Amino acid sequence: MDVSDLRKNVKLQIDGHPYVVTDFQFVKPGKGQGLYKCRIKNMITGAILDRTWRSGEKLEAANVESRKMQFLYSSGDTFTFMDNESYEQLEVPAEMIGDDRNFLLDNLACEVLFYNERAVGVSLPNQVVYEVTECEPGVKGDTATGVTKAATIATGYNVQVPIFIRVGDRIKVDTRTGEYLERVNQ
């Protein structure tokens, strides 16, 4: 692959290790070739590197495949997923899931990334609907715009929500940022 194909979330291979581009910037100096400045993350170890390439350089694409899987349950420090086609189960260590564990619901459809037949990452849907299990009632007369309160969703994660949200409401949460998006009608 050519260096001009670099974008955010592109997978590439450097020295036999798979990396994903997490930040990307093209810089064109006054003289000379353009530079591609990237922050890349090792998909196995999680190490982050800053690399710069010149225009015209060649890179090796990573042998990464994505499979649709369903989250089944967590047990201790492992999370179990099931392949939707073969019904094979896969245990993923908690370190690989990271903070996304706050958004995993039973039977949630996810994308699991494999590098040379080894699981290296889990991608959740960008938006998921959760039920609010705990929150304080809104205060009557507190109608200033942008007022929020803490609410706990079904996974135990706390999210800031508008004051009109009540226990039992279903809300849509952005799994990338952990922020409230909207209330969903039953």
Domain range summary for the chain, segments of one domain joined by + = 3-61, 64-123, 127-184
Averaged pLDDT of the chain: 86
Q: Which pLDDT score, from 0 to 100, does residue 31 have?
A: 82
**Banded pLDDT at 181 (limits 50, 70, 90):** very high
- The string of pLDDT tens digits covering residues 81-108 is 999 889 999 998 888 888 888 899 899 9
Report how far apart, in Å, the C-alpha atoms of 35 and of each of 25, 29, 30, 73, 164 are. 8, 8, 11, 45, 49
What fold does the segment set 127-184 form as a domain? OB fold (Dihydrolipoamide Acetyltransferase, E2P) (2.40.50)
Length of the chain: 186
Please tell me the pTM assigned to this model. 0.70
pLDDT for position 80: 93
Domains 64-123 and 127-184 share a fold: yes
Give residue 165's identity as a one-letter amino acid code. I
What pLDDT is stored for residue 93 in this prediction?
Answer: 87
Q: How far apart are CA 69 and CA 81, in angstroms?
A: 6
Query: CATH code for 3-61?
Result: 2.30.30.30
